[in-house]
Amino acid sequence: MTTETITAANAGTWQLGDLTVNRIGFGAMRLTGSAAFDLGTPSNRERSISVLRRAIDLGVNHIDTAAFYFSATRSANELINSALAPYPDDLVITTKVGPGRDPSGEWLHAGPAQLRGQVEENLRQLGRDHLDVVNLRIVGTDSIAERFGALADLCEAGLIRHLGLSNVVLAQLAEAQAIAPVVCVQNQYGIGSRVGEKGEAVLRACGEHGIAFVPFYAIAGAGREAGAAATADDAVLAVARAHDASPAQIRLAWTLQRGRHVLAIPGTGNPDHLVANVAAGAIRLTEDEVAALDAIRDES
């Protein structure tokens, strides 16, 4: 497919609260190294900055990041700040709190009292006086009321504009909605992902409530942090050939066709992959193609 004139606007738009975003966005995780949370192989700084600026040129106005996206010598938030500040008026930056990493890279998980510090860390790194959207990233299925309530207090204080969730089950989504509005949910979802209730059931619930559903690992599928497998399923390859597209583009196109409320945040440090990812928003799959790809999902 020809990609030169395709921008993120071709995918259509959705609302994150009162903020309008193109449905194809950009995930910053892979900007910091050759793989997620890679502390040994830092990325090329200038190339990462050029990818971010090119994303804006291509109409991307939704960037997903986190303070815990860093490698030995690179920070995703710092790269975003260096590349894009002063920020375009229509740019929406979504970040995540809950997990954290100390300077050695060891993981920790914040309780309610620690969340303000994580929010302030994102504010400092991004050079902003408020955060557009903050997602509470969850590990496990326990109650999230205290932590989500702490973030709702930070909304009241003006540090956060909108709240979202990540890696949640239906009960946690309902629990959060009873405390404050939820504008988006980021869960793993894609062809080949085996995620149970966190996938299709949460996607449907989000659609019913007008909440954006934002899959992560939409391209990688079961490969997760390691990325997509070198080989693709025959059905994906067949659809890709029919559209003169790559398997990664077909995976993104399938994801976007799961509903108008579904967004995509593919991440890359490769400028050519960036252009291809954005172009995937213009691919329209037929009903038969969607059914063939659905069958892979159902078998996984």
Give the residue extent of every domain in the chain: 12-231+255-283
Cis omega (within 30 of 0) for bond into 86 = yes
Mean pLDDT of the region 17-26:
98
225 band by pLDDT with thresholds 50, 70 and 90: very low
Compute the C-alpha angle 201/274/221, nearest 5°.
Answer: 35
Q: Could you tell me the two tokens for 225?
A: 């942090």
Tokens standing for residue 216: 């992560």
Rounded Cα–Cα distance for residues 15 and 185 (Å): 13
Type of residue at 280: A
Note the pLDDT of residue 254. 96
Look at residue 293 and give its three-state secondary structure: helix
CATH of 12-231+255-283, one of 3.40.50.1370, 1.10.4080.10, 3.40.50.300, 3.20.20.100: 3.20.20.100
Question: Would residue 189 show up in a list of annotated catalytic residues for this protein?
Answer: no
Name the catalytic one among 69, 87, 189, 217.
69
pLDDT above 60 (res 123): yes
* Confidence (pTM): 0.92
3-class state of residue 127 by DSSP: coil
Q: What is the pLDDT of residue 300?
A: 44
CA 215 remoteness from chain centre: 6
Q: Could you report the per-residue pLDDT of 200-211, keeping only the tens digit for each? A: 999 999 999 999
Report the C-alpha gap between 231 and 83 in whole angstroms.
Answer: 34
Structure confidence by residue, pLDDT tens digits, 138-147: 998 899 999 9
